[in-house]
Structure 1
Amino acid sequence: MTLTEAINTTRRHIDAHWEQTFRDSSQAPTAREFPLPRPHTVPSTDPCMWLFFYWDSYFTNLGLLRQNRLEQAINNAENVIHCIEQIGLVPNISVRIALNRSQIPVSAVLFEDIFRHTGDLAWLQRAYAALNKEYAFWMAMRLAPNELNTCGTNADPITLANFYDVISHRLVDIPTDPVARMQYLRHKMAECEVWDFNPRFDQHAANFNPVDTNAILYQFEIIAGDFARTLGLPAEESVWRERAAHRRTLIDRYLWNAAKGFYFDYDWAHGRQGQVVSAAPYFALWAGVCSDDQAATLAQNLPLVERAHGLMTCAEGSNTSKN
């Protein structure tokens, strides 16, 4: 089988099995789940994964749109809008214990893809209103003193204890001391707003400005400005442009390491860059944060995380803390 034949076979398989990934949670048990108004796309047909996951929905939508399944892509976008309208954020997962945290905010680029396909200005107005509300969450609840964003959780002790029941089988280094355990669980839950679980944040995720989160928020601000222009809101467009320009300056100041030609997460609590080389800087390339010179340097440094079958999340030898 040639490479082209293999690709076409894979595409046909995906197209034939999309319906197996569509789930209606509108009547789900509300004690556990946060019901969604439209069918959502799940990342796996394993029943344990039959939930809505925030950033998975964006990448899934790319496939749906490519295979002319606009209706389901709109359903996913509508569920994102619903979450923002109802709880002010898009949860990491559509379960009750996850309503205290979000995930890398891909709503803007997800909405942009839908609008490109529909041109529906009335829908864009709703989506734009949702973006404003979600942005308020990130800037009120996840803003570090250096004006870049961090990750975190608003979970209470009971929710953290429930979280332990969910993750304990996945981790081997959970402290036995009650206070240390709660601190550890809060860190692990905060990681879920970025990557769960990883060595990037030295066991204190809320103390860091993640490269990928801030790169996506830069993209978010650019797209929101584009929406404001499309909707005839020049004053709001100007505000979004200023926000994006300011964030780009801060990203260059705190996250870019010119000597190494790479972006690093920034430990704002201790005033230093993290040490872990990861694939996260390539979100900055995708989001348009980089200058031409930075982009070229990042491309040259790709072998730091590139292996035969793709990219490693974190480079070998960069595990400076327990996972």
Structure 2
Amino acid sequence: MLIKIYRKDVLHSLLQQEDTDQDKRITIDDHGPKEFEIHTINNEVYTIKGTYHLSNLLQELKLAKEDKKGVIEISLTEIKQLPGVRISKMIKEHYWDRLTRKLDRNGIEKILSDDKRDIKERRLYVPFHDKEAYSFYQEVTKGIDHIILETLPQKITPEFVRSINDKPGILGLALTTDDHEKKAVPFLVPGGRFNEMYGWDSYFINIGLLLDGKKELAKGMIDNFTYQIKNYGKILNANRSYYLTRTQPPFYTSMVVEYYEKYKDQTPISWLKECTKTAIYEYETVWMQSGKRLASNGLNRFYAEGIGITAEVEEGHYDYILQKYKNDDSQSVEEFRKLYLHREVDRVELDQYFLHDRSVRESGHDTTYRLEGICADLTTVDLNTLLYKYEKDLAYIIKGFFNDEFIYKERKLDSAYWNGIASQRVALINQYLWDEKTGSYFDYNLLEKKKIHFESATGFYPLWAKLCTADQAKSVVEYLIPRLKCKFGIAGSSKFSLRDVPKDAPKRQWDYPFGWAPHQMIVWKGLLNYGYQDLAEELVYRWLWMITRNAADYNGVIPEKFDVVYGTFKVDVEYGNVGSDFKYVPDGGFGWMNASYQLGLSLLPVAYTYKLNQLVDPDKIFNKTNN
């Protein structure tokens, strides 16, 4: 049912009555009467009751377009929509658009802003060889004096990246030709202060885009990665200048396969061929160069190059580390930071610390005690599983779409070639990462020559990639589920794995009790791959219930992460919780959290979807968890 109202009058009255903490949201923390009368322009009166419906009203008041008289038309049906239905609809119809960016005349100002750095100048860097891009961006930035357009050198070195850390900027992305006109290819950002295109975030975002039929956006994400690999040598941590020496967990082939399988009838085979060549190039140059990300045991590690302090962290983030290495008590931490930053003092141990720190960020799991201080020395379960997936994906693509023959740099590569490499990797994974005693996978420390028995959600990656045997999968489930399963999903690590961490040490956001969307999505698929349908559906329900309950109670909030023990987005942990600070309407939610909601709904049986919309507590449906 549609009604017409004067937006300004209704919005003012609603906030005055119900938004008692004056944060431009209506939540369970407000102490209004939770009952509000809407007066229409025809003097009709409708009553809206309860936090959830009142917050929906607030959102609809902001989303509606008003006429010249300030009148808007809103739907009472939308306001009273079931919570699961509304969240999914908001993601599909509003949030993806809010997270979409374009490096064109209309969008460049928004993407050049960077909440992580306090800078006045706005810079856009273009790859050395891309003359077309330079001309395009010249036109885009014409007349905008505060935007500086610069060309990167032909060879990008860690020394160069360090030299421009005080001149940070966005990195140009792919262009396409439409009606004989060059246009910027769109991309999505995770949300909040993450206002650039990220590495592994983009894969999980793409899962949501494909589910919601956002064909061009999903293809654009892949095309932008193809551009990054060709022009910057890798899929970047994100497309800012200070990320040029870092990649992220490799999901490129998964993105390509999932997109092409859905839209192959609408996508030329030449596109798939170009993506396949790009994937092989990335695989061989980024991951398989000996001495860097290819380790001495034949497996792979995260190994982010770079020099000194990472440029994207907030001020003071490393003070507790720098304090240990400064010359004497008379020297301030800031003085030492500047000397170290400009390489005027040598600290080998501090250089090693930052090698591991950058590598943790390259892993995407920043931060966790699983990786802290040792990341570059570990061949990890997650990375080696992902590279196995690359090898199997390339075999699948070449056999299924190129008649089992593919020419790359005058080499004939068939599925047998890639399957052979994948088999070798499985043998190494079983040798170094599989622990027969516990029946689970663990990271391997190259220096100590032993497995690190830190129980992590990354132990499920082999199930996701169908790498393990049915017996191994059964063993992993029996070992890890009791240790990681909480009331509201899978925790990043077990509580037991933190037993040696000092009680006064800071919490790490990828550890217990925090849960993240990519882990849930990988675990769900992994369980389904090996027939654990009931368990997968239970975990989906627990996760979606938590998102739905928080959104219903807190004005539609969809944040970066959750505490899966207590089911709250209000977390006391490093970096806070991106996506939880907004006014009126969530500003796009958070990319992979949105995707996890859409994926979860696609996996739930109708009976569970009904219970979700009624907000039936998971412990009333399933056995209570111990965590």
Task: Assess same fold via TM > 0.5.
Answer: yes
2: CA distance between counterparts of 1:165 and 1:131? Answer: 28
Alignment of 1:128-277 (within 5 A): 128-136=276-284, 137-140=286-289, 141-155=292-306, 157=307, 160-161=308-309, 163=310, 166-167=313-314, 169-170=316-317, 173-176=320-323, 177=325, 179=347, 180-194=349-363, 195-229=365-399, 230-234=401-405, 235-277=413-455
1: CA distance between counterparts of 2:84 and 2:312? Answer: 40
Q: TM-score under structure 2 normalisation?
A: 0.48
Residue 458 of structure 2 aligns with an amino acid whose one-letter code is A
Stretch deviating more after TM superposition (113-122 or 263-272): 113-122
- Going from structure 1 to structure 2, the CA distance change for 1:205 and 1:43 (only over 3 Å counts) comes to same
2: CA distance between counterparts of 1:40 and 1:97? Answer: 19
C-alpha deviation, 1:264, in angstroms: 0.4
8 Å Cα contact 1:64-1:73 kept in structure 2: yes
Matched, 1:23 2:101: yes
- Going from structure 1 to structure 2, the CA distance change for 1:164 and 1:96 (only over 3 Å counts) comes to closer
- CA offsets 1:52-84 (integer angstroms, 9 cap, x no match): 111111111111111111110001010111111
Matched, 1:36 2:181: no
Instruction: Give the corresponding residue for 1:55.
Output: 200
C-alpha deviation, 1:239, in angstroms: 1.2
2: CA distance between counterparts of 1:149 and 1:236? Answer: 23
- Going from structure 1 to structure 2, the CA distance change for 1:240 and 1:168 (only over 3 Å counts) comes to farther
Stretch deviating more after TM superposition (168-177 or 229-238): 168-177
Matched, 1:75 2:152: no
- CA offsets 1:193-234 (integer angstroms, 9 cap, x no match): 211111113512111001101011111110011111122344
Instruction: Give the corresponding residue for 2:155.
Output: none
Residue 231 of structure 2 aligns with an amino acid whose one-letter code is Q
Uncovered stretches (5+) of structure 2, i.e. residues with no partner: 1-51, 53-80, 113-122, 125-167, 175-184, 327-346, 406-412, 509-627
1: CA distance between counterparts of 2:99 and 2:245? Answer: 26
Match of 1:9 among 68, 86, 105: 86
8 Å Cα contact 1:164-1:185 kept in structure 2: no
Secondary structure of 2:321's aligned partner: coil
Secondary structure of 2:423's aligned partner: helix
8 Å Cα contact 2:242-2:311 kept in structure 1: no
- Going from structure 1 to structure 2, the CA distance change for 1:219 and 1:39 (only over 3 Å counts) comes to same
- Going from structure 1 to structure 2, the CA distance change for 1:13 and 1:142 (only over 3 Å counts) comes to same
- Going from structure 1 to structure 2, the CA distance change for 1:272 and 1:232 (only over 3 Å counts) comes to same
1: CA distance between counterparts of 2:390 and 2:320? Answer: 36
Stretch deviating more after TM superposition (179-188 or 143-152): 179-188
- Going from structure 1 to structure 2, the CA distance change for 1:165 and 1:313 (only over 3 Å counts) comes to same
Secondary structure of 1:91's aligned partner: coil
Instruction: Give the corresponding residue for 2:527.
Output: none
1: CA distance between counterparts of 2:319 and 2:381? Answer: 27
Secondary structure of 1:108's aligned partner: helix
- CA offsets 1:105-139 (integer angstroms, 9 cap, x no match): 00010000111122131110010011011101100
What value does the CA root-mean-square deviation take over the aligned residues?
Answer: 2.0
C-alpha deviation, 1:289, in angstroms: 1.1
2: CA distance between counterparts of 1:202 and 1:75? Answer: 34
Q: TM-score under structure 1 normalisation?
A: 0.91
Stretch deviating more after TM superposition (86-95 or 225-234): 225-234
Quick one: percent identity of the two aligned structures?
25
Q: Determine which structure has the larger helix proportion and give its number.
A: 1
1: CA distance between counterparts of 2:372 and 2:237? Answer: 21
2: CA distance between counterparts of 1:171 and 1:277? Answer: 27
Alignment of 1:274-293 (within 5 A): 274-293=452-471
- Going from structure 1 to structure 2, the CA distance change for 1:223 and 1:273 (only over 3 Å counts) comes to same
Alignment of 1:101-112 (within 5 A): 101-112=246-257
Uncovered stretches (5+) of structure 1, i.e. residues with no partner: none
8 Å Cα contact 2:356-2:372 kept in structure 1: no
8 Å Cα contact 1:65-1:73 kept in structure 2: yes
Instruction: Give the corresponding residue for 1:295.
Output: 473
C-alpha deviation, 1:256, in angstroms: 0.7
- Going from structure 1 to structure 2, the CA distance change for 1:202 and 1:50 (only over 3 Å counts) comes to closer
8 Å Cα contact 1:201-1:274 kept in structure 2: no
Instruction: Give the corresponding residue for 2:230.
Output: 85
Matched, 1:313 2:522: no
Aligned residues: 315
1: CA distance between counterparts of 2:491 and 2:172? Answer: 34
